[in-house]
Amino acid sequence: MRGGWLMFGFYLLPGLADAQEKKSGQASEAEYEGWRQYMVHCARCHGDDAVAGVMAPDLRQSVRRGAASGPEFDQVVATGRPGKGMPPFAKTLQSDQIAAIRAYVTARASGKLAAGRPAT
């Protein structure tokens, strides 16, 4: 009987992924690029979809509280927070890449983009 449930699950998975894709709003080019950069550089600590990880806070909350407005957000990403374990990314990311990450996190915080890969 276990095999039957397992096969049933395989048939449901593609539909589940499609449903999640459709829940996400339309991302701008900058937001989509921000998602790409976020997944490479930030998700390891801040968690997929900017919802907090084991080692770092929920960035959506930081943006909602205004603690990470444009210039401040960019500065923190560039210089890091060494006392809290966040490395600097100034030598890794260019300013337009940091701005794209900010655009993505802001779109997640506002609810414009749902969790998962954004639609382009």
- Segments in the chain below pLDDT 50: 5-22
User: In CATH, what number does 2-110 get?
Assistant: 1.10.760.10
Specify the pLDDT at position 4: 52
Tokens encoding 101: 């990450």
Q: What is the pTM of this model?
A: 0.74
Q: According to the model, what pLDDT value does residue 20 have? A: 42
pLDDT at 70: 81
Q: How far apart are the first and last CA of the chain?
A: 41
The single-letter DSSP state of residue 1 is -
CA 48 – CA 50 distance, rounded (Å): 6
pLDDT at 68: 60
The amino acid sitting at 6 is: L
CA dihedral sign, ordered 42, 79, 89, 28: positive
